[in-house]
Structures are given as C-alpha cells and as structure tokens.
A = this chain, B = another copy of it.
C-alpha cells in the first residue's frame, strides 16, 4: 500500500495542508511541527505522487523531446547534453520519435494536447510547417535544436555553419590545396547554404574561386559521398581536396578514394563536418569541423527551462561556434 499525504498527516497528527507546507518549504510552519512531519516522511519513505502534484498544480515537471529518429550518429551527444540539464533541474525527459512517420507524429500530437509535458525540445523537426504552427498556437513553450531546420516563430539553437565552412576552406588552403571539391548536404537543409557560403567566402578571401563543377549535392550518407567522388573522378575536373558537409558523407568520400587507388591525404585531403564518433576511426582519421552537439543540447534545454521558469524567450537564434579538429585526412602530422 502506497503511503499518501493523508497517511503522513495522520501519523504526524497534523492536516494534509501542513504536510503540504513542509513538503514545499513554505514559511509559517512551527519548527517543531515541521521536524515531526519530516520525521514521518523519512520514516515512511513518502514521495508525493507526481501525477497528483501535476494535476493540482497544472504542471508536469516533464519536458518532451521530439527527435527524427534515434539512430543518427550525432544524436547521442545532443541528447546527453539535453538530458544532463533537464535531469539536474529535476525534470523528466519524455522522448518521442518521428521515426514511424505520420502515425508517430499523431501519437505525439496527442501527448502535446494531453498536456503530458510542460515544454518541448524539437530536434530537426520533420514536416515542419504543419505541426509547428499548431504547436505555436497551442502556446506550449518550444525550443528548436539543430541546423537543418529553422523557423522564425521559435527560439532555436544551432552551430555556426558559415564559420565552420570557412574554417574548412582555410585549413585546406593552408595545407596547400587549391582545387577544392565539395559534397554538400541536401539543398533543402538550412545549413547547406551556410556551410557552402562560408567555404566560398574563405576561398575568395584567399583570392581563389570555387569551380562549380566541383560542387556536388549529397544527402548525408556515405553512399552519396562515394557516388559523388566516383562521378567527379569519372568526368569532373581534377581536385586535391574534398569538403564533405558531414562525416558520414566524408566516410563515403574516403572509401571511394581508397577504392580507386587515391591516397589520403597524399593525393586528396578530406574534411568532414560534425565530429561524430566514427570520425576518429576512419583510415586515415578524419579531419572535421566539430559541432558542439552536447553544448547545443544543453543550451536548448537551458533555454526551455528558463522559459518554463518565466523568462522571456531570447530574440534571435542561438548560434554556437564550431571548431576545427585536425586529423590524418588532411595532414600526416596529426600526432595520432
């Protein structure tokens, strides 16, 4: 039999009101009374029912997190960052997946409507338009996380993709490369243009120009990286470096280069983006632009909790800096 506040009150010979007061550290409770109540609480191991407290207070102390799926390699760090702050503030994290498509999203919408959580972290939300508007109208506090999708109506946290693209170009140029190829993300992704523009900026700043025939659209997969390189090798202009817009694509680039007998970084240098776990274990290890994924998750969670605490939403998007991680795919002196 679960012990309830009524039971505690009875044993401490006070009213439920008083128990509630000491539970919530309200002032105006006689010291001796408070001690007695606390003793009973300790003795019985009483913990208030989350559901009952939630109903009475109109609040769940839970935040929802909608992710596109649980298998993207960059997701773990982001989730961990968010989980750490959410948990440390005593909130629960209710995880939902858009993985099963429309059915999953409908399920999810029901939970939103059922007030199953106080606020929402949206990671690269799919099918943005439709659901996002509904969310906004629902008044539920929402924070977007990620670089693919942005929406003016919501606060968001992402990485500095333009700066990252520029860093990639500068590093490549710095190692003496001049004919730079790029395998981008899908055009539809918000970060693709940023990474490309940053890259282009740095190239022009060095007095060079990008050959448009060396820019291939990828789709965040190693297969697309492989295909891009094979295509370039078969019928494109020569190149001595490749900037892939993510590490998975870069892994495909590496594989295609290896399969066709090119040496890395001897013949071609390769830079990726993200710094997922895999990046350190390719052969050679991958130089990459690191997205601060854990910090992104943490920042988003912090913003959301601040809003739940009554803070005003930040004006613009929050952009965290990326950093260059140099490994063997661009230089032989990587200290590995």
CB nearest to A103 among chain B residues: B88
Q: How far is the CA of A60 from the CA of B79 in the complex (A)?
A: 24
Are A2 and B95 in contact, CB atoms less than 8 angstroms apart? no
- Chain B residues lying within 8 Å of A103, measured Cβ to Cβ, are 88
* Residue A62 is within 8 A (CB to CB) of chain B in the complex: yes
* Residue A73 is within 8 A (CB to CB) of chain B in the complex: yes
* Residue A305 is within 8 A (CB to CB) of chain B in the complex: no
Say which residue of B47, B92, B107 sits within 8 Å of A87 (CB atoms). Answer: B107
Q: How far is the CA of A70 from the CA of B55 in the complex (A)?
A: 31
Q: How far is the CA of A282 from the CA of B75 in the complex (A)?
A: 20
- Chain B residues lying within 8 Å of A251, measured Cβ to Cβ, are 281
Say which residue of B55, B278, B281 sits within 8 Å of A55 (CB atoms). Answer: B55
- Chain B residues lying within 8 Å of A20, measured Cβ to Cβ, are none
Are B62 and A71 in contact, CB atoms less than 8 angstroms apart? no
* Residue A222 is within 8 A (CB to CB) of chain B in the complex: yes
A59 nearest CB across to chain B (Å): 9
Stretch at the interface among A7-15, A26-34, A112-120, A190-198: A112-120
Interface centre among A45, A90, A94 (most CB of B within 10 A): A94
- Chain B residues lying within 8 Å of A116, measured Cβ to Cβ, are 50-51, 92
Are A51 and B47 in contact, CB atoms less than 8 angstroms apart? no
Given contacts A50-B116, A76-B75, A116-B92, contact A83 B111 (CB under 8 A): no
Are B96 and A49 in contact, CB atoms less than 8 angstroms apart? no
- Chain B residues lying within 8 Å of A84, measured Cβ to Cβ, are 97, 99-100
* Residue A208 is within 8 A (CB to CB) of chain B in the complex: no
A154-167 contact mask (Cβ, 8 Å, vs B): 1 or 0: 00000000000000
- Chain B residues lying within 8 Å of A52, measured Cβ to Cβ, are 55
Q: How far is the CA of A111 from the CA of B92 in the complex (A)?
A: 8
* Residue A136 is within 8 A (CB to CB) of chain B in the complex: no
Are B278 and A255 in contact, CB atoms less than 8 angstroms apart? no
- Chain B residues lying within 8 Å of A100, measured Cβ to Cβ, are 84, 87-88
- Chain B residues lying within 8 Å of A107, measured Cβ to Cβ, are 87-88, 90
Are A83 and B55 in contact, CB atoms less than 8 angstroms apart? no
Are A94 and B96 in contact, CB atoms less than 8 angstroms apart? no
* Residue A80 is within 8 A (CB to CB) of chain B in the complex: yes
A132 nearest CB across to chain B (Å): 17
- Chain B residues lying within 8 Å of A283, measured Cβ to Cβ, are 254-255, 258, 282-283
| Residues of A59-86 whose CB lies within 8 A of B | 60, 62, 69-73, 75-77, 79-80, 83-84
* Residue A48 is within 8 A (CB to CB) of chain B in the complex: yes
- Chain B residues lying within 8 Å of A280, measured Cβ to Cβ, are 222
* Residue A326 is within 8 A (CB to CB) of chain B in the complex: no
A284 nearest CB across to chain B (Å): 8
* Residue A54 is within 8 A (CB to CB) of chain B in the complex: yes
A257 nearest CB across to chain B (Å): 11
* Residue A110 is within 8 A (CB to CB) of chain B in the complex: yes
Q: How far is the CA of A90 from the CA of B108 in the complex (A)?
A: 9
- Chain B residues lying within 8 Å of A281, measured Cβ to Cβ, are 222, 251, 254-255, 278, 281-282
The 10 closest A-B pairs by CB, nearest first: A283-B283, A47-B113, A50-B114, A70-B80, A71-B76, A251-B281, A70-B79, A51-B54, A50-B116, A278-B278
